[in-house]
């Protein structure tokens, strides 16, 4: 991040740099599997996808769950982390309420991260997505420190083809740290005026953080029947292209209640077809390689309130 970029970052934020590009001590299960299939992986890490919205209530978790499920159905190994640490919804969206372990259980007083414990803490969806759930109690969210989260994400990125992170609408040190290292940021917005306004603010923030716009894709999700602004008008207002417009789907509520993402229950529906556009975008980017993963730069973590 250049000095000019730092001038645009709020004064309460500062950057600390930590290296993470050292080789894994052991080959991951994914790396072994792809080697056996004759696939050459140019980098030891999978692709990190951050799903974020500057506005709550636009279906960010629904989009994240459906994208992750579509990737898994397509044959990729996929891990998810519910980073909405106070009120995460992945437990319900995948019908994993009976799973007793969540991300806060991985916090250890000595700061050491047990990789076997990470795998043991994860639940598995019907489609095979491995999910690290948010704490069941909001007051447990503070147990997930940035250092603990860094270790978890690095392990999962090395062990799976894709790591999809469902982020909350508010920004804190952990969320912005994920944005800094994500290969793809799926920025979710509805067609509502306030959502478009918050999306514009988020795009400016990402620019100030030095995030390459090529790593950002705008996804319009329509959680209600009425469309406030058409996609072309939103593109003009944001000066940013829309990757995909996910239409209102009246059967979405039934899919949510059943704990099965719509790409499973209605694979040929309009919503699922548009999700496949997002999945194809992420997949093409992965095949083309990632500038972030190849450069020697390290993980940038933004410190709030210090």
Residue pair 15/151 in contact (Cβ under 8 Å)? The answer is no
Task: Please report which confidence band the pLDDT of residue 224 belongs to, taking 50, 70 and 90 as the band edges.
Answer: confident
Strands (E), the chain: 13-18, 47-52, 78-82, 123-124, 130-132, 162-166, 184-189, 216-221, 242-246, 299-304
Mean pLDDT, all residues of the chain: 80
Q: What is the pLDDT of residue 285?
A: 64
Domain map (residue ranges) of the chain: 45-80+123-132+161-294
User: In the predicted model, is pLDDT for residue 182 greater than 60?
Assistant: yes
User: In the predicted model, is pLDDT for residue 184 greater than 90?
Assistant: yes
What do you get for the CA distance between the two ends of the chain, in Å? 19
Q: For residue 185, which phi and psi values (nearest 5 degrees)? A: -115, 115
User: In the predicted model, is pLDDT for residue 292 greater than 50?
Assistant: no
**Which of 3.40.50.300, 3.10.20.600, 1.10.10.10, 1.10.940.10 would CATH assign to domain 45-80+123-132+161-294?**
3.40.50.300
Dist. CA 160–CA 200, nearest whole Å: 32
Handedness of CA 38, 41, 45, 46 (dihedral sign): negative
Mean pLDDT of 135-163: 88
Dist. CA 195–CA 189, nearest whole Å: 6
Which of 30-44, 85-99, 121-135, 168-182 bottoms out in mean pLDDT, i.e. has the lowest? Answer: 30-44
Residue pair 266/253 in contact (Cβ under 8 Å)? The answer is no
Which of 74-78, 124-128, 179-183 bottoms out in mean pLDDT, i.e. has the lowest? Answer: 179-183
Residue 9 has which token pair?
């970052």
DSSP at 247: P
């Amino acid at each position: 991040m250049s000095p000019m970029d730092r001038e645009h970052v709020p004064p309460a934020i500062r950057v600390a740099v930590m290296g993470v590009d050292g080789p894994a001590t052991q080959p991951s299960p994914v790396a072994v599997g792809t080697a056996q299939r004759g696939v050459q992986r140019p980098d030891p890490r999978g692709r990190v996808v951050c799903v974020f919205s500057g506005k709550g209530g636009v279906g960010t978790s629904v989009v994240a769950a459906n994208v992750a499920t579509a990737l898994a159905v397509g044959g990729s190994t996929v891990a998810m982390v519910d980073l909405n640490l106070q009120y995460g919804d992945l437990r319900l969206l995948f019908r994993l309420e009976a799973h007793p372990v969540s991300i806060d259980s991985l916090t250890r007083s000595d700061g050491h991260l047990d990789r076997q414990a990470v795998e043991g803490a994860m639940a598995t969806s019907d489609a095979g997505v491995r999910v690290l759930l948010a704490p069941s109690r909001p007051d447990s969210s503070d147990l997930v420190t940035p250092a603990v989260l860094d270790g978890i994400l690095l392990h999962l990125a090395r062990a799976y083809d894709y790591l999809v992170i469902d982020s909350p609408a508010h920004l804190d040190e952990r969320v912005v740290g994920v944005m800094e290292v994500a290969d793809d940021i799926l920025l979710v917005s509805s067609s509502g005026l306030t959502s478009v306004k918050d999306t514009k603010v988020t795009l400016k923030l990402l620019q100030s953080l030095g995030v390459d716009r090529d790593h950002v894709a705008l996804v319009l999700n329509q959680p209600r029947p009425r469309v406030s602004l058409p996609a072309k008008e939103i593109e003009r207002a944001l000066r940013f292209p829309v990757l995909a417009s996910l239409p209102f789907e009246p059967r979405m509520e039934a899919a949510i209640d059943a704990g099965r993402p719509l790409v499973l229950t209605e694979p040929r529906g309009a919503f699922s077809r548009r999700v496949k556009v997002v999945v194809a975008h992420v997949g093409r980017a992965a095949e083309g390689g990632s500038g972030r993963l190849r450069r020697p730069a390290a993980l940038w973590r933004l410190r709030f309130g210090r």
